[in-house]
Amino acid sequence: TRMKKVIIFSLTVMGIGIITLLILSRFYNRAGDIEIENAKNNNEIVVIDFWSEGCPPCRKVSPIIDEIAEEYQSIEVLKVNINSEKGLHKKYKITHVPTVIIFYKGEEFARIVGYHEKGEYTKHIDALINSDESIMMKFEWNDYGKRQ
């Protein structure tokens, strides 16, 4: 019976630990989501880089996004590790990494999947900054009904 008590106690402690981790991970995901929502609500242009550890193309995109953040001081740039922010990849329909989403006035304007040269990202940003409708209308619509 002593062995049964030890096993029951161990399982109880493990159960509490697992529940605590689940609660904390949900809070952490919400915090990431809140940061993104705040950025989208408080900035005209927001660039979000969704990446993953162990992803070679993500490592190539990261310095490009860093350069863009330095060069374009008027926009908000965020990076989201989909491994630690698990709920966000579903919310933003991230199926491959890297994925960079550019939001304009809170709405998705462009979605760029995979590694691309810097110009692929900046052409969208420049079109938004310059409010050049002729350039903005040339972008094709993607599967989500947004420009890409």
Active site residues: 55, 58
Residue 26's H or E segment, with its range, is: helix 2-42
How far is residue 10 from each of residues 2, 14, 17, 19, 54, measured CA to CA in Å?
A: 12, 6, 11, 14, 35
Q: What is the 8-class DSSP label of residue 141?
A: B
**Residue 43: C-alpha distances to residues 7, 10, 102 (Å):** 54, 49, 12
Report the DSSP pairing between strands 99-104 and 107-113: antiparallel
